[in-house]
Structure 1
Amino acid sequence: MTCFVGVDVGTTNVKALALLPDDLSQIIAHASAPVTTLNPEPGYAEQDPAEIWSAFVQVMAEVSEEVAASGHTITHVAFSTAMHSLLAMDAAGAPLSHVILWSDNRAEAQATALRTDLAELGKAIHAQTGTPIHPMIPLCKLAWLREHDPRLLRRAARFGSIKEFLWTKLTGAFEVDYSIATATGLFDAANRQWSEQAIQYAGVRPQQLSTLVPTTHQRLHKLSPETAKTGLSAEVSLVIGASDGCLANLGAGAIKAGTATLTIGTSGAIRQTVREPLRDEQGRLFCYILDEDHYVVGGPTNNGGNVLEWVTEKLTRLDTEAVLTEAESVPAGCDGLLFMPYLQGERAPLWDASVRGAYLNVDWQHTQAHFARAALEGVLFNLLSINQLLVAHTGPARVIHANGGFAQSTFWVQMLADMAGIPVRLNASNESGSMGAVLLTMKAVGLVASLDEAAERVAFGETFKPDPLRHRTYIDVFKKWQAGSARLY
């Protein structure tokens, strides 16, 4: 039988999931491989494209072997990849630099300039692209290269994302989907073309950017000695796919109005799917293309699962399970202890790469367990503050679909339901990015007429309902958290 594979290239792992399009609840194969983030200087975050390619080859080879052993055949592979990455390449697609990640803040001065001295240009670019002005976006990263490494800017035949690097190696074509393009700050979303004013500011030539294609665009796998290591045949069709944020919404079945998706992996985001592009006049929300009929609007945070990692490795020196157990022993609201989770600067709602975290109201009674729970609460309070910006444009959500690594903790997910005061629903599979890529493939090949129909195929797991008493507590604590944030930032 036919198998579709969804590949999810994230910040910490490359994952692949093989599913039967007729029965998405049946996982035929799954594989994952880690990727290392390098921090050569303070504020820098890079990855080696060769390591990402090796991780991709490894997971595809494992999945291909498992699928073959099960008696099935891979016919299509689709891609979900992290946003905002930037890589310099030569004319053949070979890397000339490391991949600069979304979490890299070296372009802080360039982003600040577009919000202050060049504010009119910054507002115009946001209105045209739907991408908030921040050091994360390739627009600002290219401007940084223009000032600090102009030789690389001139020497590179191509600039693109990690998606484009992988796609070029697999197909020989320099192409990028509209979804990844809308996260660059370089893309005129309304006209589906590169923005002349953004390109001019960035200092690149149009020919250095990839050809723009829809998210359902397909090409045959180009077999070579290098790509043959994946186990994929020349008959496999590759679907270019979309960004991880957009596909996390689709893979969570969150297409209809009134449904929010909250994702916490290394970072986090809260999003809703809409039918028309939206713009926040203050530039605090993104609006990215999923397909010709769907846009994903929301706000990202730099500080998600990395906060739990910090608590385990730096603060308590306990393992994750022990930290979560300790945190659960403390009542909601942490007896007044508050945490501002800005350990790596912040995107939404502050859009300030220079801010840093803080504990507030520390007193004698607070224990290590209080500090652990306050950190988890702080991550969610921050996401709910982003949600307040979102609902002003989309209307309130009636249910939250939760995914990402945090969804493996029933304690943390229940905390979200208690804070939000609405049900939080998990998917049967937590691999929402890969699932979204498979669902997009189903539309690309005509198995479904629309993404609305595709989303109806998503299977759900447990639903967490808010506890009324804890919700009332959190309403009061959230107000105090917001007041504390306003005083500090």
Structure 2
Amino acid sequence: MTLRKKVPAGSEGLLFLPFLTGERAPYWNPNARGTFFGIGLQHKREHFIRAVLEGVIMSVFSIGVALRDLTGSAKDVRASGGFARSPLWRQILADTMGREVLVPESYEASALGAAVLALHSLGYMEEIEEVQDWIRISARHEPNMENNETYIELFYLYERLYDKLKDEFDVISALQLKQKKIIKHQGKGGRACFFHHRDCRNCPFTHPHNSC
């Protein structure tokens, strides 16, 4: 049984914030961290997998919302890059955005775009629009509007969670940095005290027979 059949859209109320290395647009927060929210006994391995896929698309959608406010709504979406190789991921994108997703034959649109700009700047291409004749569509995904309702509801929660956790992200990021320094010190043969961040000879945590 495929993941799509095992787990419904929305992963039965399991939401993933995909900020494993901070987040760029639209939040621009290097301290943001990954979070699973809503974990219950009903959630199995496949729920976490789908929640991760959906969380990444929520991040993409958040950028789309920011662009929509500047340029207006798009009638369709072009998917490219590594994620576009996954039919399930592409369908989640279509369902979340409520728009048809078109997949070009070449997944690496960034490389093609760089080549087009180079050709145009060197005078080998008069109009950039000429590239439209080069691109062939290999797949199309129509949105499931019932799933779209679920994803829009989750997206509002996604945004609220980020706002509520923003200050806590700073706290956990600072804690991670402290522990990274401790681990680095221990790797050099030291015994760093968690509270003093150095080799504390009198600390009961690094030397339990003594007291600070």
TM-score (norm 1): 0.32
2:35 corresponds to 1:358: yes
CA contact (8 A) 2:4 2:88 kept: no
- How has the CA–CA distance of structure 1 residues 422 and 374 changed in structure 2, closer, same or farther, with 3 Å as cutoff? same
Paired with 1:431 and 1:473, the residues of 2 have a C-alpha distance of 30
> Which residue does the alignment assign to 1:335?
12
Equivalent residue runs for 1:90-489 within 5 Å = 325-326=2-3, 329-444=6-121, 446-489=123-166
- Give CA deviations for 1:18-38 in whole Å, capped at 9, x if unaligned: xxxxxxxxxxxxxxxxxxxxx
Q: Which amino acid aligns with 1:364?
A: L
Pairwise CA distance, 1:447: 4.3
Q: Deviation digits for residues 230-264 of structure 1, max 9, x if unmatched?
A: xxxxxxxxxxxxxxxxxxxxxxxxxxxxxxxxxxx
SS in 1 for 2:12: helix
TM-superposed CA distance for 1:344, in Å, is 0.7
Q: Is the 8 A contact 1:428 1:461 kept in 2?
A: yes
Secondary structure at 1:334 match in 2: coil
Q: What secondary structure does 2:91 align onto?
A: helix
| CA pair 383-431 structure 1, distance change in 2 beyond 3 A | closer
The CA deviation at 1:408 is 0.5
Instruction: Report the structure, 1 or 2, having the larger helix content.
Output: 2
TM-score normalized by structure 2? 0.71
CA–CA distance in structure 1, aligned partners of residues 122 and 66 of structure 2: 37
Greater C-alpha radius of gyration: 2
C-alpha deviation, 1:441, in angstroms: 4.4
Q: CA deviation at 1:345?
A: 1.0
Instruction: Name the SS of the counterpart of 2:33 in structure 1.
Output: coil
CA distance in 2, matches of 1:357, 1:385: 16
Distance 1:466 1:449, change over 3 A: same
Measured in 2, the distance between the counterparts of 1:436 and 1:386 equals 20
Distance apart, 1:451 and its partner CA: 0.6
Q: Secondary structure at the match of 2:103?
A: strand
Q: Distance in 2 between matches of 1:442 and 1:460?
A: 22
Residue type at the aligned position of 2:9: A
C-alpha distance in structure 1 between counterparts of 2:117 and 2:133, whole Å: 13
Unaligned runs of 5+ in 1: 1-321
Instruction: Quote how far apart the aligned CAs of 1:428 are.
Output: 1.3
* Structure with greater strand share of residues: 1
1:315-353 deviations in Å (ceiling 9; x for gaps): xxxxxxx9xx44652100111111111111111222111
* Identical-pair percentage: 37
Instruction: Please tell me the root mean square deviation across aligned C-alpha atoms, in Å.
Output: 2.0
Instruction: Say if 2:77 and 2:102, in contact at 8 Å, map to a contact too.
Output: yes
Q: Measure the CA separation in 2 of the matches of 1:361 and 1:438.
A: 44
Counterpart of 2:177? none
For these two proteins, the number of residue pairs brought into alignment is: 166
Give the C-alpha shift of residue 439 in structure 1: 2.7
Distance 1:433 1:481 in 2: 28
- 1:193-252 per-residue CA deviation (whole Å, 9 max, x = no partner) reads xxxxxxxxxxxxxxxxxxxxxxxxxxxxxxxxxxxxxxxxxxxxxxxxxxxxxxxxxxxx
Are the equivalent residues in 2 in contact too, given 1:339–1:360 (CA < 8 A)?
Answer: yes
Amino acid at match of 1:459: R
